[in-house]
Structure 1
Amino acid sequence: MKIHELKTINPYFTDMWLMKKRFEVRFNDRNFKIGEILNLTWDKVDIQKGRVILEETKNGERRQVPLAGKALDLITQHQAKRVICSKFLFPDTKTYKKPIDIRSAWNAALKRSGIKDFRFHDLRHCCASYLAMNGCTIVEIAGVLGHKTLQMAKRYSHLSDSHLSEVVSKMNEKILG
């Protein structure tokens, strides 16, 4: 999915401020898995150091996720408006005792934006691909996504045809002048 297509989803969350913020954090810092961002609790967020500590990850290892730029700004803004009675960053708005369920809001936003066949998890593939196309090494991509193996990071990274054409063009320009 192209970056301009991803940006078209966000306006469709206008009826759900928390969903919009959650998507913006995910969009701006795509190294979170859906379960990780939904289950985030305030005690695992360190705004001063710009990081989130994930104790329970898919691979069973503790992981630090750096927060920077827009994602850090969004979480800082969100903290100022947080619901004090909830430990979750994005609580269910009825009880505040559990994380919010995003499925219906996500599906509705995709439908309104005209985007088909795109899962929330696909944002991680987009993250890896954009990192690769912007010069990050496979080791850096694995680190950002929290992958134990380079093979897994490779599986997530996809180079677009236009990017490959641009790379060949740049090479030809340097070699042939």
Structure 2
Amino acid sequence: MAKIPGGNPIKNERATACKCAEIEDFTVHDWRHHWASHCVMAGIDLITIMNMGGWKSLRMVQRYSSVSVEHMRESINKLN
């Protein structure tokens, strides 16, 4: 996304940050996925994430969140 003079300042800042980091095709929507996933991996319960994220159902929280392989490995190791 190109920076548009006089355009939306949030989109312009995101575009500038992504360009500096050489990241392509990263949207504000992607931040919601990233945020929800990190909340889950931090141990925040799904109801709280649902309320903070503005979702109306747990199904949407589950759709937006995922956990890393490392997080799954650490969780399994807790059973040992």
Bin the TM-score by the shorter chain.
0.7 to 0.9
- Higher strand content, 1 or 2: 1
Q: Counterpart amino acid of 2:68?
A: S
CA drift of 1:125 comes to 1.1
| TM-score of the pair, normalised by structure 1 | 0.38
- How many residues align structurally? 74
Aligned: 1:105 with 2:13: yes
Structure with greater helix share of residues: 2
Alpha-carbon distance between aligned partners in 2 of 1:136 and 1:153, rounded to the nearest angstrom? 12
The whole-number CA distance in structure 1 between the counterparts of 2:73 and 2:54 is 29
Q: Does 1:134 align with 2:42?
A: yes
Q: C-alpha distance in 2, partners of 1:171/1:118?
A: 36
- Residues in 1 aligned to 2:76 and 2:31: alpha-carbon distance in whole angstroms: 27
Q: Report the CA distance between 1:137 and its aligned residue.
A: 1.6
Of structures 1 and 2, the larger Rg is shown by: 1
What is the identity percentage for the equivalent residue pairs of Structure 1 and Structure 2? 36
Aligned residue identity for 1:108: T
Q: What is the rounded CA distance, in whole Å, between the counterparts of 2:12 and 2:44 in structure 1?
A: 34
Counterpart-to-counterpart distance in 2, 1:115 and 1:170: 35
CA RMSD of aligned residues (A): 1.7
- How far does the alpha carbon of each residue in 1:121-162 deviate from its partner, in whole angstroms, 9 at most, with x for none? 211111111111111121111111011111011111111111
**Partner Cα separation in structure 1 for residue 68 and residue 31 of structure 2:** 15
Task: Return the alpha-carbon distance in structure 1 between the equivalents of residues 13 and 51 of structure 2.
Answer: 30
1:67 matched residue in structure 2: none
Q: With structure 2 as the length reference, what TM-score do the two structures score?
A: 0.78
Instruction: Give the distance between the partners of 2:47 and 2:14, measured in 1 at CA.
Output: 31
Measure how far apart 1:105 and its partner are: 3.1
